């Protein structure tokens, strides 16, 4: 009914000069007024509960806009404006409680009633599908299976081969956009894990990445003001999802028809009798969560290591010693390097690179502008003197821990030695009930990409004119998607 009304209204607007029916014009005006009312109207708040946190004095439409466009600044300014470590606001037309501090962090990561999956459709806006908890459980089981030691050992040469293939395209010397080149590598690694056949088809893989980027694009804030009104962004996401589904479906049919078995996630799911919908959901989830997060951290990890003389030297020496311990080859280049790295046991990759481990940990802290949002699907929850009502959204910014001078002196400075202080709170991989399910695979992938890149290239950061820069620009924590640098620069790769 709504779609028909909008179609008629738009048709009337397009033919405005020839309108003869005053009723049609009146209908258009009333529709537009209804839309404006829905967007701009702020209902009179009911009397606040005595146990409610202080409310941020901003209309809901402004809160939603700032949450999408300047999330880090908005949340930080909210604590200042309310003079409280906990405050409430209206987000996505839902009551939202924003937490901070030790008690807030511990409650957020330990409370069982705070659910991720019920939040998805709210944040994605109009028409977003709701999660099926059983399908989500299936994805978690698949991730556990992929991360078994025997499977990870098999993945090592495959991941390294993909690194070699993607980096061959850079040539002997290139200046690349740091926020795209390594993201492409990360996506290809995910595809190699998910489907051998898709990864082996460069054209199909590139098309799939474009479609995944469309699905992963930031939702327009206006779609959450009008959740019942599908907008252009939603249609783009929907049609991209349909095309991804068809690609996955074709991959399933081709695999079954060929009778060839591969060591990939697709084969595991086919062998265990999963349907097309389950396989599609798992592969899309791995692409969305794995490729973007891994791409962002790998990018910053390489930039930080190569921009810091002390840690660059530490990691380079560690990598050389690490490799020499497991191979007798003196000339490591091309396929010889891939072969040498592939023969190193998984246990060694996971336990014999302590400096690289510290660098990964510190990069997760300084370059991951994540704000976690959950919905309280249980009864009211008490925190201090306040109550989080049932049905409310609960928001926790990772910056409250990661950039808190209480825990980290000069918190924006990248200093991997901080990781030696085990008593300092760290939530780079999440925590408690909300810990990252793919941590082991992600860590291994990061190590393989970084070690291969450092062994193959001399890497420096350069400005817009191609001149070396000595100080890396800081990350933009308002860019919640890719955490871009605040200043334009490039990353220069020169083959050794």
- Tens-digit pLDDT profile for residues 216-226: 775 555 555 55
| pLDDT at residue 147 is higher than 70 | yes
| pTM for the model | 0.85
Q: What pLDDT, on a 0 to 100 scale, did the predictor assign at position 215?
A: 83
Look over the chain and give the mean of its residue pLDDT values, rounded to a whole number: 84
| pLDDT at residue 451 is higher than 80 | yes
Q: Which residues carry a binding-site annotation for heme?
A: 436
DSSP assignment of 175-224, as one string? EE-TTTHHHHHHHHHHHHHH-HHHHT-HHHHHHHHHHHHHHHSPPPHHHH
Quote the CA–CA distance of 419 and 366 in Å, as a whole number.
12
Q: How many helices (H) and strands (E) does the chain have?
A: 22, 10
| pLDDT at residue 238 is higher than 60 | yes
Q: What pLDDT, on a 0 to 100 scale, did the predictor assign at position 218?
A: 59
Q: What percent of the chain has pLDDT over 90?
A: 58
State phi, psi for 458 to the nearest 5 degrees: -90, 125
pLDDT band at 282 (very low <50, low <70, confident <90, very high): confident
Q: Using alpha carbons, select from 459, 463, 469, 467 the residue that is nearest to residue 489.
A: 463
Mean pLDDT confidence for 221-242: 66
Determine which of 14-28, 52-66, 268-282, 460-474 has the lowest per-residue pLDDT on average.
14-28
CA 410, 482, 197, 449 torsion-angle sign: negative
Quote the CA–CA distance of 232 and 243 in Å, as a whole number.
17
Q: What percent of the chain has pLDDT over 70?
A: 83
Task: Show the tokens assigned to 57.
Answer: 């004095």
**Residue 279: Cβ-neighbour burial (10 angstroms; 0-12, 13-18, 19+):** buried
Q: Which of 151-155, 344-348, 417-421 has the highest mean pLDDT?
A: 344-348
Q: What pLDDT, on a 0 to 100 scale, did the predictor assign at position 274?
A: 85
Q: What pLDDT, on a 0 to 100 scale, did the predictor assign at position 16?
A: 37
Distance of CA 473 to the CA centre of its chain: 21
Mean pLDDT confidence for 196-201: 93
Strand pairing report for 94-98 and 87-91: antiparallel
The 10s digit of each residue's pLDDT in 302-321 is 999 999 999 999 999 999 99
Question: b vs e for 17-42, b when ≥16 Cβ sit within 10 Å of the residue's Cβ?
Answer: eeeeeeebeeebeebeeeeeeeeeee
Dihedral of CA atoms 331, 336, 339, 340 in degrees, nearest 10, equals: 0
Residue 115 pairs with which residues in a beta bridge? 375
DSSP assignment of 52-116, as one string? SPPBP-S-HHHHHHHHHHSHHHHHHHHHHHHTSSSEEEEETTEEEEE--HHHHHHHHHH-TTEES
Task: Show the tokens assigned to 147.
Answer: 């991360």
Q: What pLDDT, on a 0 to 100 scale, did the predictor assign at position 13?
A: 39
Mean pLDDT confidence for 139-146: 79
- Find the helix or strand (DSSP H, E) in which 458 lies: strand 457-462
Tell me 490's DSSP state. E
State phi, psi for 371 to the nearest 5 degrees: -120, 115
Q: What pLDDT, on a 0 to 100 scale, did the predictor assign at position 12?
A: 34
pLDDT band at 250 (very low <50, low <70, confident <90, very high): very high
State phi, psi for 492 to the nearest 5 degrees: -100, 125
The 10s digit of each residue's pLDDT in 393-436 is 999 999 999 999 999 999 999 999 998 887 889 999 998 878 88
Q: Which residues carry a binding-site annotation?
A: 436
Q: Which residue has the tokens 């327009």?
A: 220
| pLDDT at residue 132 is higher than 70 | no
CB contact set of 432 (below 8 Å; sequence gap of 6+)? 109, 110
pLDDT band at 28 (very low <50, low <70, confident <90, very high): very low
Report the Cα–Cα distance between both ends of the chain, in Å, rounded.
Answer: 65
Quote the CA–CA distance of 182 and 298 in Å, as a whole number.
7
pLDDT band at 332 (very low <50, low <70, confident <90, very high): confident
Distances (CA, A) of 25 to 1, 8, 174, 479: 19, 11, 59, 42
The 10s digit of each residue's pLDDT in 68-111 is 889 999 999 999 999 999 999 998 888 999 999 999 999 999 99
| pLDDT at residue 44 is higher than 60 | no
| pLDDT at residue 382 is higher than 90 | yes
Which residue did the predictor score with more confidence, 220 or 450?
A: 450
Q: Which residue has the tokens 């209902």?
A: 43
- Find the helix or strand (DSSP H, E) in which 117 lies: helix 117-124
Q: What pLDDT, on a 0 to 100 scale, did the predictor assign at position 220?
A: 57
Quote the CA–CA distance of 275 and 454 in Å, as a whole number.
41
The 10s digit of each residue's pLDDT in 121-130 is 666 554 444 5
């Amino acid at each position: 009914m709504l779609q028909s009304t909008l179609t008629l209204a738009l048709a009337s607007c397009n033919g405005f000069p020839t309108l003869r029916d005053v009723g049609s014009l009146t209908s258009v005006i009333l529709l537009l007024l209804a839309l404006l009312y829905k967007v701009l109207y702020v209902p009179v708040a009911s009397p606040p509960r005595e146990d409610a946190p202080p409310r941020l004095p901003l209309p809901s439409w402004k809160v939603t806009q700032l949450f999408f466009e300047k999330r880090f600044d908005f949340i930080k300014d909210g604590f200042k404006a309310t003079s409280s470590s906990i405050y409430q606001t209206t987000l996505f037309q839902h009551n939202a409680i924003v937490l901070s501090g030790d008690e807030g962090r511990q409650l957020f990561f330990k409370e069982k009633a705070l659910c991720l999956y019920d939040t998805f459709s709210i944040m994605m806006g109009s028409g977003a599908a709701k999660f099926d908890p059983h399908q989500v459980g299936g994805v978690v089981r698949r991730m556990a299976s992929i991360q078994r030691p025997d499977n990870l050992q098999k993945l090592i040469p495959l991941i390294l081969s993909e690194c070699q293939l993607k980096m061959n395209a850079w040539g002997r010397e290139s200046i690349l956009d740091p926020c795209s080149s390594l993201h492409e590598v990360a996506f290809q690694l995910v595809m190699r894990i998910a489907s051998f056949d898709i990864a082996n088809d460069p054209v199909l893989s590139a098309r799939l990445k474009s479609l995944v980027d469309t699905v992963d694009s930031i939702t327009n804030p206006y779609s959450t003001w009008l959740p019942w009104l599908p907008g252009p962004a939603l249609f783009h996401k929907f049609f991209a999802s349909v095309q991804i589904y068809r690609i996955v479906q074709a991959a399933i049919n081709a695999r079954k028809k060929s009778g060839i078995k591969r060591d990939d996630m697709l084969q595991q799911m086919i062998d265990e009798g999963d349907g097309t919908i389950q396989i599609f959901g798992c592969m899309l989830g791995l692409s969305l969560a794995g490729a973007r997060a891994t791409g962002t951290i790998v990018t910053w990890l390489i930039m930080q290591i190569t921009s810091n003389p002390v840690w660059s030297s530490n990691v380079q020496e560690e990598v050389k010693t690490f490799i020499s311990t497991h191979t007798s080859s003196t000339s490591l280049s091309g396929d010889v390097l891939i072969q040498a790295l592939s023969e190193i046991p998984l246990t060694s990759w996971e336990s014999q690179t302590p400096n690289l481990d510290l660098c990964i940990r510190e990069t997760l802290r300084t370059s991951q502008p994540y704000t976690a949002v959950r919905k309280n699907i249980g009864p009211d929850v008490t925190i201090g003197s306040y109550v989080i009502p049932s049905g409310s959204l609960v928001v926790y910014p990772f910056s409250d821990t990661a950039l808190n001078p209480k825990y980290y002196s000069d918190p924006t400075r990248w200093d991997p030695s901080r990781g030696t202080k085990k008593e300092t709170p760290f939530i780079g991989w999440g925590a408690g009930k909300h810990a990252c399910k793919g941590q082991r695979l992600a860590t291994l992938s990061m190590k393989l990409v970084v070690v291969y890149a450092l062994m193959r290239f001399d890497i420096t950061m350069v400005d817009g004119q191609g001149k070396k820069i000595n100080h890396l620009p800081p990350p933009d924590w308002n860019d919640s998607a890719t955490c871009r640098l605040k200043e334009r620069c490039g990353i220069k790769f020169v083959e050794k």
